[in-house]
Amino acid sequence: MKDDLNIVGKRVVRSDSLAKVTGEARYTADLTFPGMLVAKVLRSPYPHAKIVGIDVSKALKVPGVKAAVSGFDSYGVKWGVFRYTQDHAMLHTDKVRYIGEDVAAVAAVDEETAMEALSRIKVDYEPLPAVFDPFESMKDGAPQIHEQYKNNINIHINIDVGEVDRAMEKAYLVREDTFKAAGEAYAMMEPYAVVASFKNGYLDLYMPNAGPHVRAKALSNMLKLPLNRVRIRHINSGGAFGGRSEVAPGDLVASLLAIKSGRPVKLVLSREENATSSRQVHDIIATIKTGMKKDGTILAKDYKVIYDGGAYSSTGPIATSIPFYVYEECYRFPNVRYNGYRVFTNKGIRGMYGCHGRAFLAGNEAQMDVMAKELGLDPVDVRLKNGLKSGEMTATKSKITSCGLKETIMTASEKTNFRKRWAKPSRLKGVGMGCVAIMCGFPMGFRSGSSCYVKINDDGQVTLVTGLVDNGQGNESMVIQVASEVLGVPMADINLVNADTEVTNLDPGAYSQAAAFVGANAVRVACENAREKIVAIAAEKLKVKVKDVGLKDGSAYSLKNPDKKMPISWVVREAFFRGEPITGTGSFFPNIDFEREWVTRPWGQMAGTFSFGTSIAEVNIDGETGKITMPRFTSAHDCGRAINPMAVEGQMEGSIQQAGVAAITEGNLWDGGYLLNPNLLEYKVPLACDMPDMDTIIVSSRDPAGPFGAKEGGLTVRMNAYSAVACAVANATGELFSELPLTPDRVMKMLERKKGVKG
């Protein structure tokens, strides 16, 4: 692989940084259009109730109110990611299924008028019995949340590889534990926001989102508009973490109000609404049974995992599967059985989360350490022994084509003196290690690939057009950097037009970790195609061979005699004269087995490649209060090659906070169907003062298919940092956790349990 790169691999200032730190960058709430209205949503006060009637007529009489809508104004088309999960009408005429569910909405000249109008809407409900616990929900006779799902089981994923029961019998050591974790809040800095306008039969939507094309498709279905008449526009996004992947009730509400009023409509949810009525994260209960040989080899795994799915399917089959896959992509499981159940309850809509699956993943890793200890083995050795290597297949038949797992384990453990410290922890101090692998993209049918169009303007400046999405992680800057490398044009001279369904082509979006591997690859190919055209003309003009032409700093030059050069703009002008402007298209479609289906055929190549990572947490526990402090956190991530190391480190640090430190603070609290902490005071996002010293290590395995060898940049930390914390607490206390987050009361219980055993 080419290593003499000019800009890829360099620590460059991201293309979006200046606008964001100066406040110049515009977000949806900043937008104003002439005549724009403010929308407000009336929400269900019941966890489960029949809608007898909705009367918005009095709301419409409030001066300043321009439109009011309910489910009776929509076509009632139900959304679902899959044909078999279409159960979410977003605005309902039959019943409501959670507290905070969208029931009706108004658009008015200002917020106060809209609030006044909401109070005039009359909704007749007939309350129904509700259920909040997934185990209760699965029982016969429990309130049925959707007619079509028996026992409220939304999804059952069954994976069975090898002979699990026989392998368990043969194992030297078998252990079974159950781990729970509260669902988290996405708590993105920017709450849900949308501006919709409808003119001349075209609907325009501005909103932070992770996949404009799939969103446009969903809205075109729900509004019965041709796809070309739904245009999702580009706008900056204040974080997503998985919470903006799918079409949301607000999208439909704002669209309907815009269509009805004929005026632009802005809907911005409050922090509370963002927590109760945008998307939430699944609560998970994972029972994990592991059979190990005496030497630490994992012989068999048997899983039963319950996902509290809230009221609708959402990404159901995917959410029910991902925790398992990111683990089987990391370790070798000759025999494995996974039963994942996603169960409906009368709680908010749940979706995918960047840190999804902490009960399962932290449970696996912490249990592994306890078993290693019992066998007198070192957790580093156990992980190395069971870790997958390049060229191997996962249990469900995905081939690993590049793998830096071993390097991440080795560098992280050497830098922290892990082996020695783990073997002899000082009192109430511990170290713990978590590993995981991440698929870079997953099967999304024909939407799994990306494409790019590039044109070079007559001044030598470049315009890139791609469907790629940036949720704040720096994807836009990343592809500009890639184009800059290929075309030899400074980043500042490259404009990006992206994530606008009117002009950009399909892209997997920013929620399956595909942006670097797929999106940047398409940009690379398009730019290489344009480069060929530049080089051909430059070679002719400079009178050198094509292979002797280099492009750098906006010039084409002779590699042998660098003084021989010409500006790329001259090449471009010449190309215009010839009637063949310098443009290029390029696409990339990953090697995925499209016969794979989440429920019916859970095997085959999952993604084009996989990233690997290891985190090590160091914890100190206050023996009197159970409070955990984290002096240091070390994460090593194999991202293939870092296109911008500074951006990758940023992602890793953010992940240490959102998954690692959050493992001791964050969790949604419920009183039945009432979310008790729908605010940032009682929902405890870790603060700067809670953060450990961080050491981020980038491992480069140079993926053969990735752009310049790159894979996704940082998500492993988001799915192994909590494991490291759980393992460190086990190391410090000698006890396995039973529930996340590890708040001081729970840690105190662990310490008391340990004392009880001793006493």
Partner 1 sequence: MILPQFEYRRARSVADAVALYKKEKGKALYLAGGTDLIPLVKLRLQAPKAVIDLKGIEDLRIIASRGGSLSVGANVTLFDLKKDPVIAAHFPVLIESLEATACETLQMRGTLGGNILQGTRCLEYNQSLEWRKARGFCLKTGGKECNVVRGAKTCFANYCSDNAPSLISLGAQLRFTGPGGERTVKLESLFTGDARTPFAMEGGEVLTHILIPLKKTKGAYEKLRVRESMDYPLVGAAVSVIDGKARVCVGGVGGAPRLYVIGDIRDAAAVRDVAEKASADAKPVANATVSPVYRKKMVGTLVKRAVRRALAEGKR
Residues forming contacts to partner 1 in the complex (CB under 8 A) are 43-46, 99-100, 111-112, 115, 270-272, 276, 624-627, 664-665, 669, 671, 674, 676-678, 681-682, 684, 686-690, 743-745, 748-749
Instruction: Compute the CA torsion angle 298, 340, 186, 310 (nearest 10 deg).
Output: -160
Between CA 648 and CA 646 the distance in angstroms is 5
**In the complex, least distance from residue 470 CB atom to partner 1, rounded to whole angstroms:** 29
Q: Which is closer to partner 1, CB of 45 or CB of 604?
A: 45
**In the complex, least distance from residue 749 CB atom to partner 1, rounded to whole angstroms:** 8
Between CA 204 and CA 706 the distance in angstroms is 34
Beta bridge mates, 127: 49
Q: Which is closer to partner 1, CB of 718 or CB of 746?
A: 746
Contact 351, 159 (CB under 8 A): no
**In the complex, least distance from residue 39 CB atom to partner 1, rounded to whole angstroms:** 14
**In the complex, least distance from residue 69 CB atom to partner 1, rounded to whole angstroms:** 19
**In the complex, least distance from residue 267 CB atom to partner 1, rounded to whole angstroms:** 14
Stated as kind and residue range, the H or E segment containing 324 is: helix 316-328
Q: Which is closer to partner 1, CB of 270 or CB of 390?
A: 270
How many Cβ atoms are within 10 Å of 126's Cβ, its own excluded?
10
Q: Which is closer to partner 1, CB of 492 or CB of 669?
A: 669
Q: Which is closer to partner 1, CB of 561 or CB of 625?
A: 625
Q: Which is closer to partner 1, CB of 528 or CB of 690?
A: 690
**In the complex, least distance from residue 165 CB atom to partner 1, rounded to whole angstroms:** 39
Stated as kind and residue range, the H or E segment containing 650 is: helix 645-655
DSSP secondary structure, 129-183, as one string: -----HHHHHSTTSPPSSTTSGGGEEEEEEEEES-HHHHHHH-SEEEEEEEEE--
**In the complex, least distance from residue 350 CB atom to partner 1, rounded to whole angstroms:** 20
Q: Which two tokens stand for residue 135?
A: 């185990």
**In the complex, least distance from residue 313 CB atom to partner 1, rounded to whole angstroms:** 24
**In the complex, least distance from residue 717 CB atom to partner 1, rounded to whole angstroms:** 21
**In the complex, least distance from residue 759 CB atom to partner 1, rounded to whole angstroms:** 17
List all residues 6 or more positions away from 423 whose beta carbon is below 8 Å from its beta carbon: 378
Q: Give first-to-last CA distance, the chain, whole Å.
A: 61
Residue 219's φ and ψ, nearest 5 degrees, are -70, -35
Between CA 240 and CA 187 the distance in angstroms is 9
Contact 174, 289 (CB under 8 A): yes
Q: Which is closer to partner 1, CB of 385 or CB of 749?
A: 749
CB neighbour class for 685 (10 Å; exposed up to 12, middle 13-18, buried from 19):
middle
**In the complex, least distance from residue 112 CB atom to partner 1, rounded to whole angstroms:** 7
Q: Which is closer to partner 1, CB of 4 or CB of 682?
A: 682
**In the complex, least distance from residue 684 CB atom to partner 1, rounded to whole angstroms:** 5
Between CA 283 and CA 306 the distance in angstroms is 8
Q: Which is closer to partner 1, CB of 65 or CB of 380?
A: 65
Q: Which is closer to partner 1, CB of 438 or CB of 661?
A: 661
Residue 747's φ and ψ, nearest 5 degrees, are -65, -40
Q: Which is closer to partner 1, CB of 46 or CB of 324?
A: 46
Q: Which is closer to partner 1, CB of 491 or CB of 748?
A: 748
**In the complex, least distance from residue 185 CB atom to partner 1, rounded to whole angstroms:** 13
DSSP percent split of the chain into helix, strand, coil, nearest 5? 35, 25, 40
**In the complex, least distance from residue 756 CB atom to partner 1, rounded to whole angstroms:** 15
Stated as kind and residue range, the H or E segment containing 287 is: strand 283-292
Q: Which is closer to partner 1, CB of 271 or CB of 293?
A: 271
**In the complex, least distance from residue 282 CB atom to partner 1, rounded to whole angstroms:** 20
Q: Identify the CA nearest to 342 among candidates 369, 310, 299, 367.
A: 310
Stated as kind and residue range, the H or E segment containing 218 is: helix 212-223
Q: Which is closer to partner 1, CB of 99 or CB of 537?
A: 99
Query: How many residues in total does the chain contain?
Result: 759
List C-alpha distances in Å: 120 to 61, 96, 111, 115, 272: 9, 19, 15, 9, 22
DSSP secondary structure, 227-282, as one string: GGGEEEEP---S--TTTTSS--HHHHHHHHHHHHHSS-EEEE--HHHHHHHS-EE-
**In the complex, least distance from residue 99 CB atom to partner 1, rounded to whole angstroms:** 5
Q: Identify the CA nearest to 407 among candidates 207, 698, 82, 122.
A: 698
Contact 153, 138 (CB under 8 A): yes
**In the complex, least distance from residue 725 CB atom to partner 1, rounded to whole angstroms:** 14
Q: Which is closer to partner 1, CB of 91 or CB of 436?
A: 91
Q: Which is closer to partner 1, CB of 42 or CB of 440?
A: 42
Q: Which is closer to partner 1, CB of 323 or CB of 626?
A: 626
List C-alpha distances in Å: 201 to 32, 34, 231, 361, 661: 21, 18, 11, 48, 48
Contact 611, 712 (CB under 8 A): yes
Q: Identify the CA nearest to 544 among candidates 565, 568, 570.
A: 565
List all residues 6 or more positions away from 313 whose beta carbon is below 8 Å from its beta carbon: 80, 81, 82, 85, 86, 87, 88, 154, 155
List C-alpha distances in Å: 150 to 130, 145, 177, 267, 612: 16, 9, 28, 36, 38
